């Protein structure tokens, strides 16, 4: 008999993680486990308050599906049963993992992908003063840094970081923290400092200004993009899309969205929330075709789970079956 178990887990962050919307000291995740008596499939999600999600709310929503899972709900039916979001992500990824455990066929092969390759991931620098971020950049030794910005002193931060690491590749994430009035100045500073990509500079509901201004640096949608249905409204405003499984509602939609986004001319970025290796593992399948990979979530934690992903410097390796897939 198939059963569903759901729990909330907490992982302390190494220090404090700050973006334009606030700070946190722990990653709170929801884990879904589907058991069939022999095999266990697992999926992890991060409920995001920005979209009205809470850990308790997502856990309760998933527990409410226990009888349906026991009665035969499968991954295909799940896509219509739940909307895109964290809850569907956890259960969708658990179904992928369970199918792989049952069949012995790796999830990447079931998805029609070649054998997974190790990938270079960005490393995120939390929003801080210009001096602190410059020192963190210098100490990181990372070849690709993602800078959390969104404050009044962003240009000073950019200049200090570039002076500290003149040869490092940089991407910027403003987390909706800029305004239409500051856009041109911030874009110019990013271009001058050699920034390769700018994530979500404006609030999702106020991003029409992006279509009316030159973009000297490619701009990537994050909060403005969720699943495939949101792609059409991005044309002319964005050059790239950040695919996160917690937004798409799981690996199933993320893979389909990646194909549709590429056909529409968008460059792909694959990102993550603050979570453990269990959340990163399925995202690595989508990341195989991405221009920018940002799957450093476990590196920002004080501890990870057992059978964690292997990171060697900036390189993240495919998951072992003991972790997922």
Closest-CA residue to 300 (of 47, 120, 123): 123
Between helix 277-287 and helix 251-263 the angle, nearest 10°, is: 30
38-93: per-residue pLDDT in tens? 999 999 999 998 889 999 999 999 999 999 999 999 999 999 999 999 999 999 99
pLDDT at residue 309 is higher than 80: yes
pLDDT band at 110 (very low <50, low <70, confident <90, very high): very high
For residue 262, give the H/E element and its range: helix 251-263
The per-residue DSSP string of 111-126 comes to TTPPSPPPEE--EEEP
Catalytic residue, candidates 101, 148, 237, 247 = 148
Q: What is the dotted CATH code of the domain comprising 3-110?
A: 3.30.390.10
Q: Tokens for 73, please give them.
A: 């709900």
Distance in angstroms (rounded) separating the CA atoms of residues 226 and 254: 9
The listed CATH number (1.20.1250.20, 3.40.50.280, 3.20.20.120, 3.10.25.10) that belongs to domain 119-316: 3.20.20.120
Where b means 16+ CB within 10 Å and e means fewer, 18-32 reads bbbeeeeeebbbbbb
Distance of CA 32 to the CA centre of its chain: 18
21, 24, 23: which is closest to 10 by C-alpha?
24
* Distinct helix (H) and strand (E) counts, the chain: 11, 14
113 pLDDT above the threshold of 60: yes
- Active-site residue, from 101, 146, 237, 244: 244
Active-site residue flag, 247: no
Q: Is 205 a catalytic residue?
A: no
Structural domain spans, the chain = 3-110, 119-316
Mean of all residue pLDDT scores within the chain: 95
CA 267: distance to chain centroid?
15
């Amino acid at each position: 008999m198939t059963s569903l178990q759901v729990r909330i887990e907490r992982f302390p962050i190494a220090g404090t993680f700050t973006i334009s919307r606030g700070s946190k000291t722990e990653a709170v995740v929801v884990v879904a486990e589907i058991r069939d008596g022999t095999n266990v499939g697992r999926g992890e999600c991060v409920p995001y308050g920005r979209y009205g999600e809470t850990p308790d709310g997502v856990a309760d929503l998933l527990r409410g599906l226990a009888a349906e899972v026991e009665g035969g709900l499968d991954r295909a039916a799940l896509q219509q049963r739940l909307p895109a979001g964290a809850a569907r992500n956890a259960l969708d990824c658990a179904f992928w993992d369970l199918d792989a455990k049952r069949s012995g066929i790796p999830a990447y092969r079931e998805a029609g992908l070649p054998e997974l390759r190790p990938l270079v991931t960005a490393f995120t620098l939390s929003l801080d003063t210009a001096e602190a971020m410059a020192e963190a950049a210098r100490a990181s030794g990372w070849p690709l840094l993602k800078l959390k910005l969104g404050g009044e002193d962003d240009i000073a931060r950019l200049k200090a970081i570039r002076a500290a690491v003149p040869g490092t590749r940089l991407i910027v994430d403003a987390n909706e923290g800029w305004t239409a009035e500051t856009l041109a100045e911030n874009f110019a500073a990013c271009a001058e400092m050699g920034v390769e990509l700018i994530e979500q500079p404006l609030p999702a509901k106020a991003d029409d200004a992006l279509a009316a201004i030159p973009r000297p640096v490619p701009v990537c949608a994050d909060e403005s993009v969720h699943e495939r249905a949101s792609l059409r409204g991005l044309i002319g405003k964005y050059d790239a899309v950040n695919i996160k499984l917690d937004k798409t509602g799981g690996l199933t939609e993320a893979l389909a969205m990646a194909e549709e986004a590429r056909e529409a001319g968008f460059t792909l970025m694959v990102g993550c929330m603050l979570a453990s290796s269990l959340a990163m593992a399925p995202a690595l399948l989508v990341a195989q075709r991405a221009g920018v990979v940002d799957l450093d979530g476990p590196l920002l934690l004080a501890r990870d789970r057992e059978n964690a992903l292997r990171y060697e410097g900036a390189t993240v390796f495919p998951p072992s079956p003991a972790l997922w897939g």
